[in-house]
Structure formats: structure tokens, C-alpha cells
Structure 1
Amino acid sequence: MTSTSTVDLHHSLGHYLEKGHLTHEIAILRRHRFGKRSESKSRSSQQSLLDDLVDEDLAAIESELETLAEAGRRTEPALSKPRRRPLPPQLPRTEIRHEPESTTCQCGCQLSRIGEDVSEKLDYEPGRFSVERHIRGNWACKQCETVVQTPVAPAVIDKGIPTTNLLAQVLISKYADHLPLYRQEQIYARAGVELPRSTLADWVGRCGVELTPLVEELRQQLLAQPVLHTDETPVPMLSPGKKRTHRAYIWAYAPTRYADLQGVVYNFQPTRAGEAARTFLADWRGKLVCDDYGGYKAGFAGGITEVGCWAHARRKFHELLERNESPIAERALACIGTLYEFERRGSELPAAERQRLRDTEARPVVEKLRDWLTGQRSQLTNGTRTAKAID
């Protein structure tokens, strides 16, 4: 066997294994989505939310399978697809005409318009639906029997009805405004448009796949920054086939507020293992602002510089003060508040002046606070909440 044949074999095998893995994932998700649990008469809002997530995952995986199928397409008998409902006729329509740049044939004859193809996309502006009518004229040359038509413009969802405006509305409503898809379905129905949750979930899943390169590009730009902030937040994750959720984590990474690049990358992980941060940061060796979670320690041993987070340190003293458990907490919070005030004063200053403010005014406060806390800590028993806050 030649080396080329070996490479082709490995490629085909990898393609087959990936397709098999995705197909298995779909089977598990569908078993959860359409199993006995969906037959229950009384369904909670929480279950509706979980069903939305499953539908989104199904759409994302199906989108990846379509990409794999496109790469290694084989001739298969066409399957009949359900007919799509026409868009409501009462919605306002905007006609967008697409005609060739030239109506002169390559042979020199004048083209004649012989018809047109019309496709409709559902558009949305805040509070109002409308329909875009894309009319692509068919132009023919009688002399050489040539037909010319402007090609269909690329779309996020090929042959789908939503415009980018509508897709953006669904995503922003779900992720920024925290409107679950079943509520969006109700809102759109009041506007006279029926958009089932399953359809909305399909759109969300496919948009997630299409946005993946953008997320990776943002990650690469973040890793070019000298200083990053990070924190991890627990979220419930539904395991298909199981009747309960377990704790997963979303790790957030962002540059400082003074950086030229402003953005956040959210990295979902099924556990809180420190390997998640090490994999995301890879060969990055900058300064990492974080809490004292042990999962970051291996990165610090590998060359990342640890920078403690004042917000996390302050929180421990704030919790003590709320419980009235420590007279030390009030004074510590007052000192930290002074440091915060310096930062507010310096927020609009150029970097050099902000550094001078920190050196001349903030540094003495930090040093005094450290000396005082060290003295207080020497009088405390290990394991107390006050001792832990100081540590």
C-alpha cells in the first residue's frame, strides 16, 4: 500500500469514527427528548428549558453531520421532506431585487427577461416582523439559449427562512435577556408568527456551530494579552438518559478593562478540574488575575504569574461583617474601599499617571493593611473564618 493510500485510509477511518460518534450522541439525545418523559401530561418550566437545550444540541450535531456528509457525499435516494408553511400574508414585505450586472449576452445579443424565482425570508426588527422577498430574475438569450440569474446569497442557515436580524434577536433574547425559547415562542405567536420551540432550538444549535470560528479567533486574540482575568461558575448540566442534572462549570476569560481588546470567552467544561484552565491557556505565560482556587496552581508552576483578585479577597471580609463574626472585617473593608476609590480616580487617567497614583497613594495603604493583618493573624487560631479571610 502506498503512503498516499495509507493517508486516505486514515482520513476515511477518522471521518467514519467521527460520524459514528456524532450519530451515537444524536441517538442518546433523541432517546431523552422523545422518550417516556416527554409523554407526561404535566411538564414543568424546568423540563421545557432542558428540552430546549437538548434540541439545540441535536441541531448542532446534525449540522456537523451535514458538514461531514458534504465532505464525503455519496449518491443517495432523495427523501421527501415536510413542506414548510407559507409565511403569514399579513406581514409587510420588502422586495429586494437581484439582477445581473449586465443584460448583454456573451455573444453580444440583448438578454430577455423570461421569468423570476422568488424566495421569502422572515425578518425581525425589535417589536416588528416583516418579510424580505428576494426576487431573482431569469434572463435568457434567444440566440444562444443561455439563461442568466444572480446566484443565491450565502446564509447562516442554508435554505432557511430567518434573516441574520432574526437569528440575532433569538440569540440575544436567549443569552443576554434570559428569555427561554418556549417564552420566545409565545411572544412571536402574539405577533402572528408561529415559530415552534423545536425550530428555534434548531436555529440556536446551528448558529452555535457557525460561530465557533469566531470564538476561536477571540480566544487567540485574548491569549495575545499580557494580563487576563478568569473565574469559574457552576451551572447545572443535564446528562441525556439520566433523570437529574450534575454540576458543570463555565470558565470565563477576559482582558483588563484598560486593554484595547474588550471581550469575554466562556469555556464550558463538565468539571472544575484545573486541566480545563491549563488546556485553554496552553502556552500562554502572562499574568493571571484569579481567586485562590487550587486548580490554577499548576499553571503558576509552569510559568504563569499569579495575581490575587481584590474582589475575592474583599468578599471573605464582607461575609464576616454580614454575620457580625469579626471586628477585624470592618476595618479591612474600609482599607480595601480606599483602594477601590483610588482605582475609580485613576480609571480615566493615562496608564503612566494611573501607575503613579498607585505607587504614591495606593501602595502605602496596601503595605499598612498587610502589616496590620499579619499582626492580627498571629493572634488567631487556625481554621477560623477570620483567619481564612486574612490568609
Structure 2
Amino acid sequence: MNETLDLDGMSQLQMHQLVQQLMGTVQQQSRLVEQQSTELKHKQALLDKLTFEMAVLKRLKFAAKSEALNANQRSLLEDALEEDLQAVGEEIEQMRPAAQRTPSQPKRLPLPEQLPRQEFKHEPEVTQCCEQPMRRMGEDVADKLDYTPGVFTVHRHVRGKWVCACCQTLKQKPVDAHIIDKGLATTGLLAQVLVAKYADHLPLYRQEAIYARAGVPLARSTLAQWVGSCGVQLQPLVDALRQEVLQHWVIHADETTVQMLKPKAERNGKTHRAYLWAYSPGRHEDIKAVVYDFCESRAGKHAGEFLEDWSGTLLVDDFAGYKQLMGGAIEEAGCWAHARRKFFDLHAANKSQMAQRALEQIGQLYELEQQAKDMDGANRLKLRQEESAKVIKKLNACLLEQRGKVPEGSATARAIDYSLRRWTALTQFLSNAQIPIDNNWIENQMRPIALGRKNWLFAGSLRAGQRAAAVMSLIQSAKLNGHDPYAYLKDVMEKLPTWPNRRIQELLPHRWQLTGQRIG
């Protein structure tokens, strides 16, 4: 049968196909509009949240200071507020479309004349146009303050301007990208401020005094703004480091206390107990890294949020917050150092012979682990199954026998019950060579935090604590891999402004030697 033609000569079949195509296009556009609308709502909600946080921070900064705070507390609080304001401002600026971003030109005092100067010439590679030499018509000069340990210098960047007399074309070498756009400080000085604050635990008010004695007056608010900006720019590295840690199926976890200033409404000069959590791949895994996570409490939900959908073996102490994570995708491994500590305390208190025998047998386990220290996984597992398993069996029999002889609630019963209750977790290392015998590896990564607590007094805000955790993650991971944290941060911050996001893993501390100069 012949197809019926319409007035324009188009068949009904062609008309139907065209309508179907148009309907498909409309549906596709509708889905795109809906997706963009959802993204816009999400971004607007985040922008509203950040704007509100900015308003709160400004009120805290400019409101009358509470007399309940002593001088040192006020100094640390002011540092944290300046850092938070700068960090929130940068996050808001990053969310705006490029056309709506407002360039800022900071006002600053001239750098002291007595500082040594290094001059850097920047000229276009080609100074010819219209087949004739261009004429140099001037230059732009920018001074940046640099710092190498113990020495301030001024880097003077001179960018010549070249013009073609024929067509008036102007050529000038563009300004190199910098981690703080139009910032005064070089990456060397920024790295020094970060390392001094987060590795050497020098608050900004102390750094301000140190730099003033060196003849360079740097306002604490300026230092705080640098720290806030660097914290935002370094965050992608920390996020990538966290993903690397979660790719390993044996992870150490631990937590320690850090005081945090209470919100203004309930402050009255007081602090409350916050927690810094630490996560690291197992001691026998193929990378050395640690990621700190600052949280308002010790609730187990914080560990759950950090680990998300991770599955593997989690090596922890007996803290109840971890219990809700166990089962299913996550298995628990116990720490023999904690078990040994119970018997050590018991022996120190009353010279218990049972505790002494337990300590001797646990000591044998550690001697075997020392022998296996440099073995590959297969030989380590073989040694554990042939030798360590015998010691474990003997220790278990000893504990069960003694438990029936001691009364409930006694110190001996509590020491024995701690190990027997966690026996399955404590013996996980016998079935897998990658599981360490204890959690000492991550506890060692907590030592810098314990030292820092003596200098911090407290974290000024949740955001300040999270920023400290992020920067300390990079610094401590750099140290674990034998790097000088100053050299590492300086090199990374020089590369970050132009570094492709898809290659961000190359700048992580355990891979940095492939892209930078390794120190140590």
C-alpha cells in the first residue's frame, strides 16, 4: 500500500519518526534541566551554609572579647578566626562562576629595605613582531617575601613589557600561577609558617614575635589568612591521601583528646573535649601514610563516616565506639600491646606470678615477630602458624586455668577477662601475614599530637581543628617517608596551581620522590 503523503510531501512514517525524535530530545533536555536544577540547589544550599558561617565568624571577630578568656586564649582564638574567615571566603569564591569572582588586591606595607634582594627577570621568549624587533616600553615589578630557615629575602620579579612600533602589539611574560593569587609570600615562606605551626607547634602569635625580631613585621592576621588559604588549597591532596589509605584492607585506627573552644553561646571561656582520630595502612602494607580526622566527640559514628563503605580488617583497641563497625564487611583485629599492659599493671601492683608467666609468653610472641620483621608475607605467616600458634595455645590454656581460681571482680580476673573476651580479635594475626600483632604503629603517629597539646591550649573551632588535621596528615606522612616536611610542602605548593587534578596522587608523600627532590 502506498504511504499517504501530507501537504509538504512528507510521509506519515517520516512524520512519526520526527515526532519520536523530538520527544526524545525534549526528554533528554528535561533530564538535563532537572540534573542542573538539583546541582544548583545543592550549590546554593552549600553557599548559604558557608555565607552563614562567614557571618558568624565575623561576629565573633568583631564582637567584644570575653573577659573570661586569658591573653593566650584570646591570641589562639583570634588566629583561628582569621584562618577560618580566609578559608570560608576562598571556598565561597571557588563556588562562584569565574565571571562573578571579585579580584582582590591586598594592601600591604613596603618590605624592609635592609632585606637582601634577589631579582628575577621575566621576558617574552619572542620579542619580534611584524618581522622587526619590538621596543621595550617598561616593566612590572612585584616583590615577594621569601623565607629559608633562618633567613628572609625579597624576590623581586621584573616582567619586561615589549611593544611593536608597527602594530602596537604588547608582549609580556605572564605571571606564574601561585597558590595564593597575588600573595606576598613565596611558597617557601608559606611552607615555613605551616611547618612551624603544625610540626613545631608554634602558634601564630609566637611566630609573629619571631619574625618581628628578624626585622620583618608580619601581622598575625596576615599569617592566619595565609594558613587559611593554604588549608583550602591543600585539601584535595588530603582527600586523595584518604582514598589511598582506604584502598588497603588492613588499617590501624586510634584516637586522642584535643580541647576545643565551646561555641560562643555556651563559651564563657571554657573548652570541651574533642577528638583527633588517626587512620593508617597496616604496618606491613606497601605504603606509609597517616590521615588525621578532627571530630567534636568520640562517638563511633565518626569512624563510620571516615571509613564509609570500606571493607577489611581494622586493628584497634577495645574502645566501644569501634564495636558498631564490626561484623559484615569489617573484621576486628586486637592489639597485644594493650593486653600485655593489663598484665604488666597487675604484676607491677602485686608481683603476680600468673601475670609474670603471661608477660613471658607474650614476650615470646614479640620475639617471634622480631624474627619475622624482614620476612616476606609467606614466610611470616609460616612462622606464625608453626611457632606463634603454639605460644598462643599455651597462653590460652594458662589463662583459662587461672580464671577458674580467682574471684569475680578481682584485678587478676579483670586482666584475664580482657584478653579472653578479645581472644578472637587477638589471634587474627595468626591467619594473615599482613595483620600486625599490635596497634603500636598508629599510636606512634599520635606522639606529635601529644607534644602539640602542650602548646595549642585548644582548637579555636571545628574548622580550625579539621584544617590542623589535614595539614598534619601531609606533614606526618612526609616524615614517615623520609622527607623534610618543609621541602615537601614547598615543592607541592609550587606545583599545585597548575597540576592536573587527575594526577594529584603523584604529589602524595609516598610518591613525591617521583616528582620532586627527596630529602633524607
Instruction: Give the TM-score of the pair, scaled to structure 1.
Output: 0.89
Counterpart of 1:24? Answer: 52
**CA-to-partner distance for each residue in 1:147-173, whole Å, 9 max, x for gaps?**
111111111111111111111111111
Residues 122-161 of structure 1 mapped to structure 2, 5 A cutoff:
122-161=145-184
Once the two structures are TM-superposed, the CA of residue 82 in structure 1 deviates from its matched residue by 6.2
- Give me the whole-angstrom Cα distance separating, in 1, the residues matched to 2:80 and 2:343: 38
Runs (5+) with no aligned partner, structure 1? none
Once the two structures are TM-superposed, the CA of residue 87 in structure 1 deviates from its matched residue by 1.3
Once the two structures are TM-superposed, the CA of residue 119 in structure 1 deviates from its matched residue by 0.9
**Of residues 158, 166, 178 in structure 1, which corresponds to 2:189?**
166
Residues 105-254 of structure 1 mapped to structure 2, 5 A cutoff:
105=129, 107-241=130-264, 242-243=267-268, 244-254=270-280
Counterpart of 2:124? Answer: 100
- Give me the whole-angstrom Cα distance separating, in 1, the residues matched to 2:99 and 2:159: 31
Q: Secondary structure at the match of 2:176?
A: coil
Tell me the percent identity.
50
1:29–1:240 Cα contact (<8 Å) kept: no
Q: Secondary structure at the match of 1:184?
A: helix
For these two proteins, the number of residue pairs brought into alignment is 386
Once the two structures are TM-superposed, the CA of residue 67 in structure 1 deviates from its matched residue by 1.3
Relative to 1, partners in 2 of residues 1:28 and 1:318: Cα closer, same or farther, differing over 3 Å?
A: farther
**Of residues 324, 327, 331 in structure 2, which corresponds to 1:301?**
327
Indicate the larger mover: 214-223 or 195-204: 195-204
- Give me the whole-angstrom Cα distance separating, in 2, the residues matched to 1:325 and 1:53: 50
Q: AA paired with 1:103?
A: T
- Give me the whole-angstrom Cα distance separating, in 2, the residues matched to 1:22 and 1:255: 33
Instruction: Indicate the structure with greater helix content.
Output: 2
- Give me the whole-angstrom Cα distance separating, in 2, the residues matched to 1:385 and 1:57: 48
Pairing 1:270–2:293 present: no
Once the two structures are TM-superposed, the CA of residue 308 in structure 1 deviates from its matched residue by 0.5
- Give me the whole-angstrom Cα distance separating, in 2, the residues matched to 1:247 and 1:225: 31
Indicate the larger mover: 310-319 or 4-13: 4-13
Once the two structures are TM-superposed, the CA of residue 314 in structure 1 deviates from its matched residue by 2.6
**Of residues 9, 23, 37 in structure 1, which corresponds to 2:65?**
37
**CA-to-partner distance for each residue in 1:120-175, whole Å, 9 max, x for gaps?**
11111111111111111111111111111111111111111111111111111111
Counterpart of 2:442? Answer: none
Once the two structures are TM-superposed, the CA of residue 304 in structure 1 deviates from its matched residue by 0.9
Relative to 1, partners in 2 of residues 1:9 and 1:170: Cα closer, same or farther, differing over 3 Å?
A: same
- Give me the whole-angstrom Cα distance separating, in 2, the residues matched to 1:42 and 1:192: 30
Once the two structures are TM-superposed, the CA of residue 4 in structure 1 deviates from its matched residue by 4.8
Indicate the larger mover: 107-116 or 182-191: 107-116
Once the two structures are TM-superposed, the CA of residue 227 in structure 1 deviates from its matched residue by 0.9
Once the two structures are TM-superposed, the CA of residue 25 in structure 1 deviates from its matched residue by 1.3
Q: AA paired with 1:285?
A: S
Relative to 1, partners in 2 of residues 1:195 and 1:109: Cα closer, same or farther, differing over 3 Å?
A: same
- Give me the whole-angstrom Cα distance separating, in 1, the residues matched to 2:321 and 2:337: 19
Counterpart of 1:53? Answer: 80
- Give me the whole-angstrom Cα distance separating, in 1, the residues matched to 2:336 and 2:141: 59
Indicate the larger mover: 28-37 or 151-160: 28-37
Q: Secondary structure at the match of 1:236?
A: strand
Q: AA paired with 2:61?
A: R
Relative to 1, partners in 2 of residues 1:257 and 1:112: Cα closer, same or farther, differing over 3 Å?
A: farther
**Of residues 266, 284, 290 in structure 2, which corresponds to 1:258?**
284
Q: Secondary structure at the match of 1:116?
A: strand
**CA-to-partner distance for each residue in 1:308-330, whole Å, 9 max, x for gaps?**
01222233333434544855434
- Give me the whole-angstrom Cα distance separating, in 1, the residues matched to 2:54 and 2:262: 13
RMSD of aligned Cα (Å): 2.6
Counterpart of 2:475? Answer: none
Pairing 1:347–2:373 present: yes
- Give me the whole-angstrom Cα distance separating, in 1, the residues matched to 2:409 and 2:68: 51
- Give me the whole-angstrom Cα distance separating, in 1, the residues matched to 2:349 and 2:219: 48
Q: Secondary structure at the match of 1:292?
A: coil
- Give me the whole-angstrom Cα distance separating, in 2, the residues matched to 1:318 and 1:187: 45
Q: AA paired with 1:48?
A: S
**CA-to-partner distance for each residue in 1:72-120, whole Å, 9 max, x for gaps?**
717x8x99x7620111111111122222222223x33322222111111
Q: Secondary structure at the match of 2:133?
A: coil
Indicate the larger mover: 268-277 or 119-128: 268-277
Once the two structures are TM-superposed, the CA of residue 364 in structure 1 deviates from its matched residue by 2.2
Runs (5+) with no aligned partner, structure 2? 1-28, 419-520
Pairing 1:335–2:361 present: yes
Indicate the larger mover: 206-215 or 292-301: 292-301
- Give me the whole-angstrom Cα distance separating, in 1, the residues matched to 2:137 and 2:378: 69
Q: Secondary structure at the match of 2:141?
A: strand
- Give me the whole-angstrom Cα distance separating, in 2, the residues matched to 1:200 and 1:228: 36
**Of residues 290, 308, 332 in structure 2, which corresponds to 1:282?**
308
Q: AA paired with 1:49?
A: L
**Of residues 68, 84, 91 in structure 1, which corresponds to 2:115?**
91
Relative to 1, partners in 2 of residues 1:353 and 1:146: Cα closer, same or farther, differing over 3 Å?
A: same
Indicate the larger mover: 332-341 or 54-63: 332-341
Q: AA paired with 1:373?
A: L
Relative to 1, partners in 2 of residues 1:389 and 1:142: Cα closer, same or farther, differing over 3 Å?
A: farther
Once the two structures are TM-superposed, the CA of residue 199 in structure 1 deviates from its matched residue by 1.4
**Of residues 348, 362, 378 in structure 1, which corresponds to 2:388?**
362
- Give me the whole-angstrom Cα distance separating, in 1, the residues matched to 2:87 and 2:239: 17
**CA-to-partner distance for each residue in 1:249-274, whole Å, 9 max, x for gaps?**
11111012332211101112212222
Once the two structures are TM-superposed, the CA of residue 337 in structure 1 deviates from its matched residue by 3.0
- Give me the whole-angstrom Cα distance separating, in 1, the residues matched to 2:86 and 2:77: 14
Radius of gyration: which is bigger?
A: 2
Instruction: Give the TM-score of the pair, scaled to structure 2.
Output: 0.68
Relative to 1, partners in 2 of residues 1:224 and 1:4: Cα closer, same or farther, differing over 3 Å?
A: closer
Relative to 1, partners in 2 of residues 1:42 and 1:22: Cα closer, same or farther, differing over 3 Å?
A: closer
